[in-house]
Structure 1
Amino acid sequence: MIEEQIEIRTADGTMDGFLYRHEGESRPGVIHLTDIGGIRSSQKAMASRLAAAGYTVLMPNPFYRFGKPPVIDFAAGFENEEVKKRLAELRGPLTPEAVQSDAGAYVDFLAGQEGVSPGGMGVVGYCFTGGVALRTAAVRPDRIMAAASFHGGGLATDAPTSPHLLLPRIQARLYFGHAVEDRGMPPEAIDRLDQALAAWGGRSESEVYDGARHGWTVPDSPVFNGPQAERAFAKLTGLFAVIEYDAPRDIPVPLRETI
């Protein structure tokens, strides 16, 4: 497995990140979006493992506007006041407009890599990037054929910019793995999402992982749940198997409008 540092030009500057590829081979492209802790050893391990399952994986830095990782002291814990302040700073520039602009840039970058096969692509998000994965699928329905969210927060809210309102633009197969007792995605929000998915009528699955709390898939999370993390990985690779057979669709790329 080859790990490469990469740079992507965006409307706001240069996004750094990592690309995981198989030497001399073309594989389906997948975008791994980090949790709120950003790029670090645990996320690199997750992206590398996904690549080893048969993909060329791009892991962009969602916080590139603040510099290269690390941009937060993840080990200090989210109850630390300095960490809370930093999180607010990091989230500030990530408006729906900015997120969707970034998404178009990293999809196009990955599509242009020699190690990426010409078929469809996948995207997976963890924590706050669960919503980013949905936005990515909506921005590039011509390329994104599968999208997944694990312990994603704020996926279906009352806000006019809620990610679930983008479903009519999405052509991908979708998977949502929810945590229990998640303040960012309580039962009523899961119900709202499930109702929206039913109305949308696309191919999707939404389920709660018993005993798994927010962050359970990430090895350096204090609530890491090994058995449920393995189940999540199996679900993810099962979902992404479809992109090996789905070709890019002749769908007009939507304008960079934002819901």
Structure 2
Amino acid sequence: MPTKTLQIPTPDGRADAFAAFPDDNERHPGVLMYADGFGIRPVLREMARELAGHGYYVLVPNSFYRHGPAPLVELPEHIGEEARPAILAQLMPLIEAHTAEHVLRDADAYLGFLAARPEVGAGPVAVTGYCIGGLYAMRTAAAHPEQVAAVAAFHGPVGVDGPGLFSGLTAQVHLGHAEGDLTPGALGELNRALDAAGVDHTSEIYPGTVHGFTMSDTDAFSASGLKRHWERLLPLLDRTLTGH
């Protein structure tokens, strides 16, 4: 599986990024994958490679490149509960500084980069995101309805911008929520807002999960949650990007 470390020009500098894609000299649909707050690290590269193995060009940018290249903070091999508070204390200022305006300026650059890649097909792309990256994915899809055919967000704070964000969505949407993040009542409210905006979506709580369940290098990891994530994500991408 070919991989590359890239530099993507943006209006505010150069974003370092990781890309994985099939080794067949063919053009494949593009997928923009936003990492969680911990950023690009081995588990994200592994997920990108796995997705690329299903026939996609997967781009994982460092969302916080304005503060330096990834990794921005030193991460242990396993991010346990003891280490988590100190790491988040370093990361939260970077997350808070990454405004909606920054997200959208960067999204223009990332999607433009994908469109220009010789390995990427000419059709629509998908956007996925984890944790805070799920919100970035939703913002990107809403801002680029002509380019983004599918968006998937996992354990992300997708409702924090309010229902106005949903009105811009034309992509098919899957939201996989952690049981620890969302009550059934809150899920119902979110799904009614998606319905009211006319969004073609599936949105569900993954049983027995807590925030961060897709990430195998954290205490939050759920093997069943990650499996369900692939079972939802891959058919969504097949339908919207390959027509299968």
Query: Same-fold call, TM > 0.5?
Result: yes
Q: Which residue of 2 aligns with 1:256?
A: none
Q: Which amino acid aligns with 2:202?
A: E
The CA deviation at 1:148 is 0.3
- Report the counterpart of residue 207 of structure 2 in structure 1: 210
Q: CA RMSD in A?
A: 1.7
Cα distance, 1:73 vs structure 2: 3.5
The answer to whether the 8 Å contact 1:77/1:83 transfers is no
CA distance 1:188–1:129, change in 2 (3 Å) = farther
Q: Give the structure 1 partner of residue 65 of structure 2.
A: 64
What letter matches 1:175 in structure 2? H
Alpha carbons of 1:202 and 1:33: their partners in 2 closer, same or farther (altered >3 Å)? Answer: same
Task: Give how far 1:163 is off.
Answer: 5.6
Q: Identity over the aligned pairs, expressed in percent? A: 36
Deviations 1:33-82 (A, max 9, x none): 10111000000000110000110111111111111111123435566553
| CA displacement at 1:84 relative to structure 2 | 3.2
**2:28, 2:56 within 8 Å by CA — same for their partners in 1?**
yes
Q: Which moved more, 1:102-111 or 1:189-198?
A: 189-198
Gap regions ≥5 residues in structure 2: none
Structure 1 residues 121, 38: CA separation in 2 closer, same or farther (over 3 Å shift)?
same
> Which residue of structure 2 aligns with residue 95 of structure 1?
99
Q: How far apart are the structure 1 equivalents of 2:86 and 2:138? A: 30
Q: How does 1:64-213 map to 2 (within 5 A)?
A: 64-75=65-76, 77=80, 80-153=84-157, 155-157=158-160, 162=161, 164-182=163-181, 185-213=182-210
SS in 1 for 2:27: coil
Per-residue CA deviations over 1:103-128 (Å, capped at 9, x if unaligned) read: 11101101110111111110100001
Residue 89 (structure 1) shift: 1.9
SS of residue in 2 equivalent to 1:92: helix
Secondary structure of the residue that 2:127 maps to in structure 1?
A: strand
Q: Match for residue 14 of structure 1?
A: 14
Q: Is the 8 A contact 1:38 1:69 kept in 2?
A: yes
1:223 — aligned with what?
A: 220
Is the 1:119–1:243 Cα contact (8 Å) retained in structure 2?
Answer: no
Is contact 1:119–1:245 with CA below 8 Å preserved after alignment?
A: no
Q: 2:113 and 2:200 mapped to 1: Cα distance?
A: 27
- Aligned counterparts of 2:36 and 2:91: Cα–Cα separation in 1: 12
TM-score, normalized by length of structure 1?
Answer: 0.87
Q: Which runs of 4+ in 1 moved over 6 A?
A: none
Equivalent residue pairs, number: 239
TM-score (norm 2): 0.92
Deviations 1:162-188 (A, max 9, x none): 064221111100000000122xx4555
- Within 1, Cα distance between the matches of 2:172 and 2:59? 19
The CA distance in 2 between the partners of 1:15 and 1:191, in whole Å, is 37
Give structure 1 stretches of 5+ with no counterpart: 247-259
Distance 2:3 2:197 in 1: 38
Shift in alpha-carbon separation, 1:34–1:78, aligned structure 2, 3 A: farther
Alpha carbons 1:28, 1:243 under 8 Å: kept: no
Amino acid across the alignment from 2:190: L
